[in-house]
Amino acid sequence: MKKIFKSLSAVLLAVTLFSCNEGDNPIDTVLNDVTSGASLRTITVGSSSIPLGDATGKFQVTLEVQDAKNGAETDKIDVYVSFKDNSTANGSNPKPEALLKSIPSSAFVKGTRELPFADVTVTIAELQTKLGLTTAQFTGADQFVIRVAQVLKDGRVFTRANSNSNVVGGAYFSSPFQYNANVVCPITESLAGAHTFVSTNMKKGPSGSACGGSTTGTVTFGATATPGVYTISDMSFGQYGYCWGDSDATSATARVTWFCDKLVASGTDFYGETYTFTIKSASGNKITLDWINSYGDSGTTEITRAGGANWPAIFAK
């Protein structure tokens, strides 16, 4: 088998030096001149990421099935999946590789160069079921790994492990046998606006004594040059004024970022305090979050979106 792939580079170079008759494929020359091999050439990647919160999310790639008999030697394509947990906020939930399904040769369709095409589609529902993952266990920056294996009718199996760089990453073959489907956080709309709020359960830090009662007001999310990142006019949602008689908790660096199903506070207020926002619930035009700053001030705030518009469904808890 090593002889196969060591010979591929030299043979491919020779192929490019001579014109081919109409209907000839470079793969025909390669596989006729060396011991029979096989590969799965990437034609198109229709969907390469998994959008968080999208129940219809999927990974999809179209492969050209190549072997010494124009795809006729290939019996099936096995599809394996695994999960890389690259986030820490929701715990550590990596999942080892498992066989998801097999695509039989009977499902291949006619390609554009006398070689059959195989469609590999993996839905988020299939991934969660096979890997035993709940929606809460994956988020932005995590990865699902989809690996394919080409099984020939004589029992030989071709994978990334027994293919060299000419096959895996070469300009012609482009047959990596493995793909990463990144979990992404789509920004589908702007959250900018002057939103009204009601704050309760307010406490002073570091004593932790309650302020009592509630306060209302308006917090403005201001658009920035980066989609999903907003300036914020009051990180304490009225608590500073109500409990301390202070100005609104903000500064030139104060930001709130829409990241997947979270609102993430960054920067500081005018005292230099940092904040943590935790969404408790979201329904329709109302979203409720707990917040606490690095001094120990805290509270619970219900925010009604400007204009009565609903908050993105991804926030729903």
Q: Does residue 159 sit in the same domain as residue 291?
A: no
Centre a 10 Å sphere on the Cβ of residue 236 and count the other Cβ atoms it contains: 28
Q: Does residue 34 sit in the same domain as residue 167?
A: yes
Among residues 81, 69, 33, which one has the least CA distance to residue 152? Answer: 69
Q: What is the pLDDT of residue 65?
A: 97
Low-confidence ranges of the chain (pLDDT < 70): 1-36, 164-173, 317
Q: What is the pLDDT of residue 212?
A: 86
Q: Does residue 87 sit in the same domain as residue 209?
A: no
CB-CB contact of 239 with 249 (8 Å): yes
pTM more than 0.75: no
CB-CB contact of 4 with 34 (8 Å): yes
Q: Does residue 119 sit in the same domain as residue 144?
A: yes
Q: Of 157, 184, 211, which residue sits at a domain end?
A: 184
Three-state DSSP state, 165: helix
Match 């920067």 to its residue by tokens. 267
Q: What are phi and psi of 7, to 5 degrees?
A: -85, -20
How far apart CA 127 and CA 124 sit, in angstroms, is 5
Q: Does residue 161 sit in the same domain as residue 211?
A: no
Among residues 59, 87, 63, 262, which one has the least CA distance to residue 144? Answer: 59
Q: Of 184, 210, 225, which residue sits at a domain end?
A: 184
| Strand ranges inside the chain, DSSP E | 38-47, 49-51, 58-67, 74-84, 95-104, 117-123, 143-152, 157-158, 178-184, 193-203, 215-223, 229-232, 255-259, 262-266, 275-283, 286-293, 298-304
Q: Does residue 174 sit in the same domain as residue 200?
A: no
Q: Does residue 151 sit in the same domain as residue 22?
A: yes
Q: Does residue 24 sit in the same domain as residue 163?
A: yes
Residues 6+ apart with CB under 8 A from 312: 188, 189, 191, 258
Cross-strand pairs, 49: 182
Residues 149-207 pLDDT 10s: 999 999 999 998 887 665 665 555 678 999 999 999 888 899 999 999 999 999 999 88
Q: Of 184, 216, 234, which residue sits at a domain end?
A: 184
How far apart CA 145 and CA 160 sit, in angstroms, is 13
Crossing angle of helices 26-33 and 2-16, in 10° steps, is 140
| DSSP symbols for 138-158 | --TT-EEEEEEEEEETTS-EE
Q: Does residue 141 sit in the same domain as residue 211?
A: no
Residues 139-164 pLDDT 10s: 988 999 999 999 999 999 999 888 76
Q: Does residue 173 sit in the same domain as residue 230?
A: no
Q: Does residue 161 sit in the same domain as residue 300?
A: no
Domain total in the chain: 2
Q: Does residue 6 sit in the same domain as residue 145?
A: yes
Q: What is the pLDDT of residue 5?
A: 37
Amino acid, single-letter form, for residue 70: N
How far apart CA 41 and CA 116 sit, in angstroms, is 11
The boundaries of the domain holding residue 130 are 2-184
Domain containing 91 — which CATH number?
2.60.40.1940
Q: What is the pLDDT of residue 91?
A: 81
Q: What are phi and psi of 30, to 5 degrees?
A: -60, -50
CB-CB contact of 13 with 7 (8 Å): no
Among residues 208, 207, 214, 210, which one has the least CA distance to residue 237? Answer: 214
